[in-house]
Amino acid sequence: MIIDSHAHVVLPAESYRYMANLVSSRANPVDRAKVPDSAIRAAAEGLLRMMDSVGTDMQFLSPRPYAQLHSIKPARVTELWTRHVNDVIHRQCEMFPDRFRGVAGLPQYRDSSPENTLPELERCIEQLGFVGCLLNPDPTEGDCAPPPGLGDPFWHPLYRKLVEYDVPALIHSAGSCQPREPYTLKFINEESIAVISLLGSSVFEEFPTLKLIVPHGGGAIPYQMGRFRAWTTRLGGTETFDQKVRKLHYDTCNYAQEALELLFKVVGPDRVLFGTEKPGTGNARNPETGRDFDDLKPVIESIDFLSEQDRRNIFECNCRRLYPRAFRNDA
């Protein structure tokens, strides 16, 4: 089974109309979202055709990260928009229960405590049957001083809830307010910041069963390992940096074979989930291969140092292990 653990919902045009109105009116007054089942279904069917074209059996759908509006004022916009997108994801999951699972967006808002996101997380997990959530390390979207790093107790209320539900969080920033740093690069930089903050903290002593996934191959960290190996050695301590990085999980949403090879070597294939974000940044034809950049299954199949079991772990088993709620109705 091929599970794409990192994918984002394809929204119907009616959703964007709702967003446009929410942002323009600043949610005052609040319009009602009106999205007919036919539009929800058509958007999902377009996505299913894409999945079929590359052999993906199932996608885990979360909100499109850069369009999460985490720093748009006032907070009510973020809150309503997040709820709307989660509802669309839920409706698509209900329509195609063999092909989709829901990963919740959280209504994170600027430097507010993540406590404000717990009701929506609860709703998504308990009522909508979602299996995980996104976690944005910088909901200010670069507009002002970011909240403390993910290693800080600031985030513990959310971690406590994730552990209680036994659901993982996919660490993924949203937009970027700084012209010098497009959102697609901010994703990468925020991942590096998240890894270093988490691995320098006592989070995994306090929450030993917390499951966090760093997408896009872990930002810069697998490439910059030497730097942090040396840094960790100089600071002393009992664990090497290579041991530390295995406390986190990663995904394959990195569109170059040499980079994926480095990732597998550095963190181990038991720590990496298949993810392509198709259709997303990689949705363009690679002239060298004639396939889309985000068609990663053949790339992973061609890496010869991976065993058959390694590949099964990457494509399916690691994901099943991390997301127990995704398959609990299985025989």
Give the residues lining the site for a copy of itself (CB under 8 A): 137, 144-146, 148-152, 178-182, 184-185, 188-189, 192-193, 196-197, 216-217, 219-220, 222-227, 229-231, 233-234, 254-256, 258-259, 262, 265-266, 281-287, 293-294
CB nearer to a copy of itself: pick between 116 and 283? 283
Find the shortest distance in angstroms from Cβ 64 to a copy of itself. Answer: 15
CB nearer to a copy of itself: pick between 207 and 223? 223
CB nearer to a copy of itself: pick between 25 and 233? 233
Catalytic residue among 141, 190, 277, 316: 277
Bond prior to 36 in cis (omega within 30° of 0): no
CB nearer to a copy of itself: pick between 129 and 279? 279
Find the shortest distance in angstroms from Cβ 60 to a copy of itself. Answer: 20
Of 95, 134, 167, nearest in space to 319 by CA: 167
Of 2, 96, 59, 6, nearest in space to 317 by CA: 2
Find the shortest distance in angstroms from Cβ 248 to a copy of itself. Answer: 15
What is residue 201's DSSP assignment? S
Residue pointed to by tokens 């999951």: 93
CB nearer to a copy of itself: pick between 59 and 176? 176
Catalytic annotation on 79?
no
Find the shortest distance in angstroms from Cβ 254 to a copy of itself. Answer: 6
| CB atoms near residue 237 (< 10 Å) | 10
d(C-alpha 118, C-alpha 157), whole Å: 8
Are residues 281 and 185 in contact, defined by beta-carbon separation less than 8 angstroms? no
At 270 the three-state DSSP class reads: helix
What is residue 220's DSSP assignment? T
Which residues are 134's β-sheet partners? 170
Of 129, 132, 133, 60, nearest in space to 100 by CA: 60
Find the shortest distance in angstroms from Cβ 290 to a copy of itself. Answer: 13
As annotated, the active-site residues are: 277
